[in-house]
Amino acid sequence: MSEHLPGVFILSDSIGETAEMAVRAAASQFNSGKMEIRQVPNISDSYTIDEILKQAVASKFIVVYTLVVNELADHLVQKAAELGVICVDVLGPLLDAFKEASQLNPRREPGLLRKMDDMYYRRVEAVEFAVRYDDGKDPRGIELADVVLIGVSRTSKTPLSMYLAHKRIKVANVPLVPEVIPPEQLFTAAKGKVIGLIIRDEQLTNIRSERLKTLGLGGQASYASSKRIFEELEYAEKIMKKIGCPVIDVTNKAIEETASKILEIYYRRISYVKT
């Protein structure tokens, strides 16, 4: 007897990765697990199914499928039975089990897993972007970003960048320091792309003083002095006016609240660009 398993046609109305993984996992339990796999992705009509079944009969292949569109799945099962082709549904039993347990109906929409994976990878990409272009590390990020946050130190630029990254928004942030000339890209960026963050001086003094304490430094350092903070805030205000960017006051605001305002500005901008 041959150690080779019968060949397998994998039919899917998406890309068929789920079925292929299941087939290979099952095949690994049989001696060498060697077999021929032929994938037929993105099936959208019964004619293609009929042609595949004819080849399955001729080649003595079995058919494994992940067809979530009922009409296509029903057609496959009926024709396979007529032709004597062994046909295995990978997703059907699970869908039925979830439906029975939850009393909910599946969406029956091809490619949802792939869409979810795409969302995941876009989120990872946005997080990596936020890290790469944090704190003005590379001004090239200004051109590549969806949103650019500017403001003095401790106005929540980095936490906001990471929060928005988990919503798949690529954010670069640039600190405004009187002694450092801002990148030219800030002044040439698309209108509404750069968003300024401001904060009341009293709260900023408290935040910076606490920061110094956690670092084991005295609270009287110039970083937390009223004079220095006033200079920085005044300088930041001038830069924001020169850019003509939207400005958000983050005083006593949670990250989520500020992020919501940023997203509102962002979606309004891209909506305007599309129209």
Would you kindly state where each structural domain of the chain is located, as residue ranges? 8-110, 117-274
Rounded CA separation 109/67 (Å): 9
Pick the more confident residue, 20 or 155: 155
Q: Is the pLDDT of residue 222 over 60?
A: yes
- Confidence at 98, pLDDT banded by 50, 70, 90: confident
pLDDT computed for residue 107 by the predictor: 67
pLDDT computed for residue 109 by the predictor: 64
Query: Using an 8 Å Cβ cutoff, are 240 and 196 in contact?
Result: yes
Q: Please determine whether the domains at 8-110 and 117-274 fall in the same fold group of CATH.
A: yes
Fold of 117-274: Rossmann fold (3.40.50)
Sign of CA dihedral 95, 97, 102, 104: positive
- How confident is the model over 204-231, as a mean pLDDT? 84
pTM, entire model: 0.61
Instruction: State how beta strands 171-175 and 87-89 pair.
Output: unpaired
Over the stretch 185-204, which tens digit does the pLDDT of each residue have? 999 999 999 999 999 999 99
pLDDT computed for residue 91 by the predictor: 81
- Confidence at 273, pLDDT banded by 50, 70, 90: low
Contacts of 117 (CB under 8 A, 6+ apart): none
Please choose, from the candidates 62, 85, 77, 73, the residue with its C-alpha nearest in 3D space to the C-alpha of residue 110: 73
Locate 237 and state its tokens: 């205000």
Q: How many CB atoms lie within 10 A of CB 213?
A: 12
Q: Is the pLDDT of residue 126 over 80?
A: yes
Over the stretch 143-154, which tens digit does the pLDDT of each residue have? 999 999 999 999
In the chain, which ranges are E strands?
A: 8-12, 37-40, 62-66, 87-89, 147-151, 171-175, 194-198, 247-249
Identify the CATH number of the domain defined by range 8-110: 3.40.50
pLDDT computed for residue 1 by the predictor: 44
